[in-house]
Copies of this chain bind each other. A is one copy, B any other.
Amino acid sequence: MLNSALTWRSVLSLRVSSRLSAQGTRQISQVPLKNLNEDFECEGPCMRTEVPGPKSKALQKQLGEMQSVMSVNFFCDYEKSRGNYLVDVDGNRMLDVYTQIASIPIGYNHPALIKVMMNPQNMSTLVNRSALGMLPPKEFTGKLGEGLLSVAPKGLSRVQTMACGSCSNENAYKSIFIWYRTKQRGHSDPTPEESTTSVINQAPGCPDLSILSFMGGFHGRTLGCLATTHTKAIQKLDVPSFDWPIAPFPRLRYPLEQYERENAQEESRCLEEVEDLITKWALKGKPVAGIVIEPIQAEGGDNHASPEFFRKLRGITKKHGCAFLVDEVQTGGGATGKFWAHEHWGLGDPADIVSFSKKMLTGGFYYKDSFQPDKPMRIFNTWMGDHTRNVLLSEVLRVIKTENLLEEVKQSGKVMLQGLYELQEKYPHLLSKARGLGTFCAIDVKDEDTRNKLIIKARNKGVVLGGCGDRSIRFRPALVFKRHHTHLFLNIFNEALAEFK
């Protein structure tokens, strides 16, 4: 902690000196200088109002004139936020165990990230956003090498960046369709009929291929992704979709040790259903080109399956010639204690494609050589991601390595899961199914209404949490969430639970 505080101090004094020397620069800092040196990592949450407080409510009303604000929780003061603490506009300081829907890797205002953007080359990258697929910056190749490719999942040597998670999966699906058809025809050159029909959305140019997904899976909200997302009705209602097969995802019973046999049967049933669906959709004339799955169904309720389930699923994809796409948008980046959650499976044969976003700061997907189209512009768009995010990611990865954060996550994760076990024992009428890998943990609450009330109660006590599924709470701290933060969180969560009779 001391080390972190010192580093902050040096960056902040740097800011001050650059402010003093920068005559004529417009400076709008609403943070008094004394606060900049504050190291409140040691102090814990500090609540001044209910959340949302009066300032948040006023801003929400104004924003409501401009766009939908029904999902806004409160407004944040990001400049004042630090590490694991999110500060809101009313001056409340909260321990963040949700981190912008699991997308802040190393906490707020990490000094390393501020520093890296003071490099003029990086500032230039930011203000001159390039069309990366056509006119990449000179430092692009090096940055991909030291960044994304330095943490490439086993067996995947290539990477394509994209702007967000949905775009990543959309383009991963396209890569799968192109690979599948290329394999079918034995080459990538379309017939004249394929060329003509593709422009007008018709077969054979636009073939009836499908992606198999799982009930409870979430892969994004654009139309292709949405056809593989099966979480809440409100996310899909009224939007046209594709007739693609949907397999059941195992519904494991807890505690796992007690239901080994039942759970193994449940997983077998799901795998049989997968094979069944592949056969049925082939007969329908809509062959399954690929299967997409999350290592832990996050939005769908933090549903886990065994490593064996995933290894067998990988076997099924090989047997039927379907691509295997692992969606690590939420699970990737270290929170499970390994950099990629699917590393926990011990796959013999690597996945074909692994998609990512959130904690990786940029969207994108890793892929095997054979999934690279052999003609230009098939996987393409104007920006192809955002190089500034690659620059920041390189720095994030450096911090993860030098601060040994995956090990920290394992330690904090142990404390967290043990604490959750104890809480569910203490409050059996409220909690069940504590589960997790690393700090990527969750627990079920007795019903949706209680879950929602519990989240609000915890927030007013200084802990930000997020729900998932029908009645789960997902815990998604940053990788800098240490053991003492975990204890702090467990204590406050316990206090909130104690208020439910």
Task: State which residues 165-197 of A face B: CB under 8 Å.
Answer: 165-167, 170-171, 173-174, 177-178, 180-182, 190, 194-196
B70→A376 contact, CB < 8 A:
yes
A128→B78 contact, CB < 8 A:
yes
Task: State which residues 77-130 of A face B: CB under 8 Å.
Answer: 77-79, 81, 86, 89, 100-101, 103-104, 108-110, 113-121, 123-130
A144→B66 contact, CB < 8 A:
yes
Q: Which residues of B contact A59 (CB under 8 A)?
A: 136, 138, 140-141
Asked if A21 CB lies within 8 Å of chain B CBs, one says: yes
Indicate with 1 or 0, residue by residue over A38-81, a CB within 8 angstroms of chain B CB atoms: 00000000000000000100010011011110111111111101
Asked if A258 CB lies within 8 Å of chain B CBs, one says: no
Asked if A200 CB lies within 8 Å of chain B CBs, one says: yes
Docked pose: A194 CA to B75 CA in angstroms: 34
Docked pose: A81 CA to B128 CA in angstroms: 9
- Contact partner of A158 (CB less than 8 A), chosen from B67, B140, B222, is B67
Docked pose: A71 CA to B379 CA in angstroms: 10
Asked if A268 CB lies within 8 Å of chain B CBs, one says: no
Docked pose: A128 CA to B66 CA in angstroms: 23
Q: Tell me the A residues contacting B by CB distance below 8 Å.
A: 10, 14-15, 17-19, 21-22, 24-31, 55, 59, 62-63, 65-68, 70-79, 81, 86, 89, 100-101, 103-104, 108-110, 113-121, 123-131, 133-138, 140-141, 144-145, 149, 157-160, 163-167, 170-171, 173-174, 177-178, 180-182, 190, 194-196, 198-202, 205-210, 215, 220-224, 227, 230-244, 246, 357-358, 361, 363, 372-373, 375-383, 386, 388, 392
